[in-house]
Structure 1
Amino acid sequence: MKNIFVVFVLFLTLMSCNTETQKIGFVNNKDLVNDYQEKMDIEAKFKTKIEAFEKRTDSIGQAFQQEAQAFQLKAQNMKQEQAQAEYQALGQKQQMLQQRIQLEESQIQEESQQTIDTLIKKVRDYVKDYGKKNGYTYILGSNEAGSVMYGDEKNDLTKEILDALNADYKKSE
């Protein structure tokens, strides 16, 4: 009888330790980041930058092409050595222009990547704070790689967190 009482008390003790329920939710990482207004604004800003860059590059290319065509006409009346020297100078100018364009292009790409990386960190930190404030034990991220293979829709926090993120972003503008 004493053993049954001890087992019963032990059972109750173990059960009381396990009464803590874990609150688990998940977010669709792709939707959370892609539908975030700040990301859309960043993309629009960089699209404008890229369009301006492309216009500059096109006008530089056209100006160089005109210069090369003018040189070809002028070269017909030049001595071969002089034409060859100017042709080399034109080739060097073309290389310098290409290098300048590549440098600017890589700067835009680097700036864009750094901005997106900062944004993703901001979103992760926001989800972490959201989880703490709302009593979640875990908030999982689903993606196409399959980190969450299935989640009940009632545990999908994507829209909830996205709405909160966008509301915070609007306040900060």
Structure 2
Amino acid sequence: MKNLLASIILVCLFMSCQQQKIGFVDNVKLINDYQEKKDLENKLQIKINAFQKRTDSLRQAFQLEINEAELKARKMSQTDLQKLSQELQQKEQILSQRVQFEQQQITQESQSTNDSLIKKVKKFVQDYGKTNGYTYILGSNEAGSVMFGQDENDLTQTILDALNKSYKE
């Protein structure tokens, strides 16, 4: 009976002495330094620049139309002037709606891309943790979810390197 009790105590002590493997990553650095994110941002910036050029071009053309209308307005009757004013207001409204629609599309694309990128990084960190025997990998951010961690437990650069290597492949 004493041997059984001693064995149980020994097993309990052994289990309580096992350390859990815990690491942490700086979420902001991990996401911002991920090469795929940089590449996606560059592609999005190209779309934004093209959108801005189209918008500027449309606004310049509309401004020219307004300038021409102002010259014509001096010789128009009141009825024709009101009609011209309504046409210009409609064109301006259509232009504004078009610009707003394109802005919304770019915003939605950006949000969707960011969401899928974050999911991908989370999944990668989970797989990394399982593969490397971690019990926990915590996320550090500016809000302070990890207030302190020893440098040897900071997995940010290790995971970032593995993530970028995976992306290149």
TM-score range relative to shorter protein: over 0.9
Runs of 4+ residues deviating >3 angstroms: 5-10
TM-score, length of structure 2 as denominator length: 0.95
Q: How far 1:6 sits from its partner (Å)?
A: 6.9
State the distance in 1 between where 2:58 and 2:76 align: 26
Residue 66 of structure 2: aligned partner: 68
Aligned pairs for 1:8-19 (under 5 A) are: 8-19=6-17
Gaps of 5+ in 1: none
Gaps of 5+ in 2: none
Identity of aligned residues (%): 56
Deviations 1:36-94 (A, max 9, x none): 00000111111110010001000100000000010000111111111110111111110
Considering only aligned residues, what root-mean-square deviation do their CA atoms show, in Å? 1.4
Residue 52 of structure 2: aligned partner: 54
User: Aligned match of 2:98 in 97, 100, 112?
Assistant: 100
SS at match of 1:25: strand
Residue 84 of structure 1: aligned partner: 82
Q: Does 1:120 align with 2:118?
A: yes
State the distance in 1 between where 2:101 and 2:77 align: 36
Q: How far 1:9 sits from its partner (Å)?
A: 4.1
Residue 18 of structure 2: aligned partner: 20
2:61 maps to amino acid = A
State the distance in 1 between where 2:4 and 2:129 align: 39
Q: How far 1:21 sits from its partner (Å)?
A: 2.1
2:91 maps to amino acid = K
User: Aligned match of 2:136 in 135, 138, 141?
Assistant: 138
Alignment CA distance shift 1:9-1:168 (3 Å): closer
1:111 maps to amino acid = E
Instruction: Report how many residues are paired.
Output: 169
Q: How far 1:7 sits from its partner (Å)?
A: 6.0
TM-score, length of structure 1 as denominator length: 0.93
State the distance in 1 between where 2:47 and 2:35 align: 18
2:67 maps to amino acid = Q
SS at match of 1:83: helix
State the distance in 2 between where 1:68 and 1:84 align: 14
Q: How far 1:35 sits from its partner (Å)?
A: 0.2
Residue 165 of structure 1: aligned partner: 163
State the distance in 1 between where 2:93 and 2:35 align: 40
Aligned pairs for 1:36-55 (under 5 A) are: 36-55=34-53
State the distance in 2 between where 1:86 and 1:119 align: 49
